[in-house]
Amino acid sequence: MRSGRFGQVVTAMITPMRTDGAVDEPEAGRLALWLLEHGSTGLVIAGTTGEGPTLDDDEKLGLFHAVVEAVGDRAPVIANAGSNDTRRSVEFAKRAAACGVHALMAVGPYYNKPPQAGLVRHFTAIADATDLPVMIYNIPGRTSVNILPDTIVALAGHPRIVAVKESSGDIGQLAEIAARAPQNFDCYSGDDHLALPHAAVGACGVVSVASHVAGPDIADMLGAFSRGDTDGAAKLHHSLMPLFRALFAVTSPIPVKAATRALGFSVGECRPPLCPLEPEQERVLLAAIRPWLTPRATVTAR
């Protein structure tokens, strides 16, 4: 298993918010640094886990600035720049690039349900807008459009389209892309519970939610697989499954935000229409993450 250009464990970072619902940029910087100290090799900012759909453009740009300032060149910062509007995505990609981020992510256009030819035009326009590398994000469960392997392979011929975050849930789809795309094209698993199965068919890493809690364990799992220790990797995967289930028992990022609060970060609640966990849901989550709530792992709140 080779490591992708963004490393093996890229965290789709949550967006910390204050009690009044405003974005907390200093806490975002603090969280970003902590994640890099705990297994993460890169960060996706203002994606699905970062509540990108309910952040306005200025809030996203502020986050990009804050995280880049905190992280510097320690690890790649990947800015979510895509939307369901090609023209707006192109313009926002230019503004995101000006913040000093290292790469862009662009999700499949949601709601519009464009045909595959429209997807090629959409992603090509975004990639042509800046000099930054672009990661395509395929998550048809949220967008209602599946970016097919033929389309990804065609787009992989663009010099700046360098990776895909594959979250279709179809292992065969990532396997086909990995088999047919250029060797330097990076296939990332977009599902924590499929990170190891995806690695077996060609993934170079994972864009992870669970790495907020168990980053070192996920890094160890993929490291073991890379060394050929498949039994050790499987054992780690099995130990992580209760955590994966708990973090996705309710719409993400509701559980991971609660888990990150339990680690000692001041991250607030998710913005509506997402809502807090019910008391019983929170009890189950806290029980699942208890093995990771050690004095070494937790931090002191501001």
Contact (Cβ atoms closer than 8 angstroms) between residue 140 and residue 113? no
Q: 245 and 68 in contact (C-beta within 8 Å)?
A: no
Under 8 Å between Cβ of 136 and 103? no
Supply the residues annotated as catalytic.
137, 165
Q: What is the CA radius of gyration of the chain?
A: 18
The whole-angstrom distance between residue 264's C-alpha and the CA centroid of its chain comes to 21
Cβ-proximal residues to 56 (8 Å cutoff; 6+ apart), any chain: none
Task: Detail the DSSP E strand segments found in 54-140.
Answer: 77-80, 103-107, 134-138
> Do residues 204 and 178 make contact, with C-beta atoms less than 8 angstroms apart?
no
Q: Which residues contact 281 (CB under 8 A, 6 or more apart)?
A: 249, 250, 255
Contacts of 58 (CB under 8 A, 6+ apart): none
How far, in Å, CA of 38 to CA of 53, rounded?
27
**Distance between the two ends of the chain, CA-based, in angstroms?**
39
What amino acid occupies position 242? P
Under DSSP, the state recorded for 54 is: G
